[in-house]
Amino acid sequence: MDLNPKQQEVREWLARRQAILLAHNYQPGEIQDIADLTGDSLGLSIEAAQTTAAVIVFCGVRFMAETAAILCPDKLVLLPRLDVGCYMADTITAAALRTRKAELPGVPVVTYVNSYAEVKAESDICCTSANAVRVVNSLPEPRVLMVPDRNLALYTARHTSKEVLYWQGCCNIHDNFTRAEAEACKAAHPEAIFMAHPECRPEVLNLAEVIRSTSGMLVYARQSTQSEFIVGTEMGLIHALQKENPDKRFYCPSSCLLCPDMKRISLDDVISALRELQHVIQIPEATRLKALTAVNRMLAVPRD
Ligand code: SF4
């Protein structure tokens, strides 16, 4: 693939700093195209921990860079901009979670990885959108509290016999995607398979043929014999889907499915991050260790 001059400059800086570039599936295409690794936030961090690179540049949002810092304490984790927040992660704080825990003694807290390190540190175990049901079913208690995504909790509740209490948080990008938009897209593309992310509302998930995480959608589309897909998640994933499957067609069902925080980092920001070695993501060690325990408990849950 031909690189433009700025992409070339990023690659040169990466070599000079012995760094690797991680890009989330929702990042702009020009960043995904030059990344060493692309994927979901946890998968990227797990892979990054296994590399010999001294520096990790994380193109995603802040909680994702924090996850890399939790899993890779011996590496310098850089976030090219500090103003890359997340609506969902901001719906909960460690203090608010402590208050709720006090009201629910004996109820384990299952925290979606889309959360800040301090919140993970207050949790019994983490989960992803791909393994939430498995994680909840692995716990011995009959009741769990899932935070912060209400829609992921409601989806999980449908697939477990346990009582699932939830936090009133959501990803506004997925939550604003309506049933009417999904119906309209299905009517426009009657042959297409509708893939939806569990962060979507239940009435949208009811219309989906396939409910998957972003990584799950990539696997599904790759393996499917179908040629058309409606992609019910942030539209950045379509870049990776289309690149992997040039002969298949992918449709975005709603203009809402665009996360401004995920599109904020530019190639100039990445060059500055590498030149200045900024912005270093550091987690206080006590918080990191507690958060790591919650992540490791999740990773220890056996696969089906
Ligand atoms: S898509 Fe949603 S969960 Fe992901 S970073 Fe944006 S607001 Fe957060």
Q: Which residues contact 64 (CB under 8 A, 6 or more apart)?
A: 24, 41, 44, 45, 58
* Span 173-226, pLDDT tens digits: 999 999 999 999 999 999 999 999 999 999 999 999 999 999 999 999 999 999
Q: In CATH, what is the architecture of 93-172+286-300?
A: 3-Layer(aba) Sandwich (3.40)
| Residues 34-40: contacts with CB under 8 Å, at least 24 apart | 34/3, 34/7, 34/10, 35/59, 38/240, 39/214, 39/215, 40/128, 40/130, 40/213, 40/214, 40/215
Whole-angstrom Cα distance, residue 54 to residue 109?
A: 34
Distance CA(135)–CA(216), nearest Å, equals: 17
Closest residue by CA, ligand 1 atom 5: 86
**Residue 304 predicted with pLDDT over 80:** no
Q: Is 240 in the pocket of ligand 1 (CB under 6 A)?
A: no
Dump pLDDT digits (tens) for 33-78.
999 999 998 899 899 889 899 999 999 999 999 999 999 999 999 9
Residue 114 CB less than 6 A away from ligand 1:
yes
- Burial class, 49, CB count within 10 angstroms (exposed 0-12 / middle 13-18 / buried 19+): middle
Helices (H) and strands (E) in the chain, counts: 15, 12
Residue in 79, 128, 176, 262 to alter for ligand 1 test, most ligand atoms within 8 A of Cβ: 262
Over 90: is that where the pLDDT of 303 sits?
no
DSSP state, 135? H
247 alpha carbon, distance to own chain's centre: 26
Q: So what's the pLDDT on residue 41?
A: 83
Q: Is the CB of residue 97 below 6 angstroms from any atom belonging to ligand 1?
A: no
Helix (H, G, I), strand (E, B) or coil at 9: helix
Mean pLDDT, all residues of the chain: 97
pLDDT of residue 258: 98
Q: Which helix (H) or strand (E) holds 112?
A: strand 109-112
Residue 279: cis peptide before it, omega within 30 degrees of 0: yes
Q: Is the CB of 170 under 6 A from ligand 1?
A: no
Question: Cβ(147)–Cβ(118) under 8 Å?
Answer: no
| Per-residue model confidence (pLDDT) at position 193 | 98
Q: Which CATH class is domain 5-87+262-282?
A: alpha beta
- Nearest residue by C-alpha to atom 3 in ligand 1: 171
What pLDDT band is residue 108 in, cutting at 50, 70 and 90? very high
Q: How far is CA 56 from CA 27, 41, 181, in A?
A: 16, 13, 38
Report the separation in Å between the CA atom of 53 and the middle of ligand 1, taken as the mean of its atom positions.
27
5-87+262-282 with 177-255: one CATH topology? yes
**Is 87 near ligand 1, meaning CB less than 6 Å away?**
yes
276 pLDDT above the threshold of 80: yes
Q: Where are the domains of the chain?
A: 5-87+262-282, 93-172+286-300, 177-255
Ligand 1 contacts CB of residue 173 (under 6 A): yes
Residue 23 near residue 40 (C-beta atoms within 8 A): no
Q: Which fold has domain 177-255?
A: Rossmann fold (3.40.50)
Q: Does ligand 1 come within 6 angstroms of the Cβ of 88?
A: yes
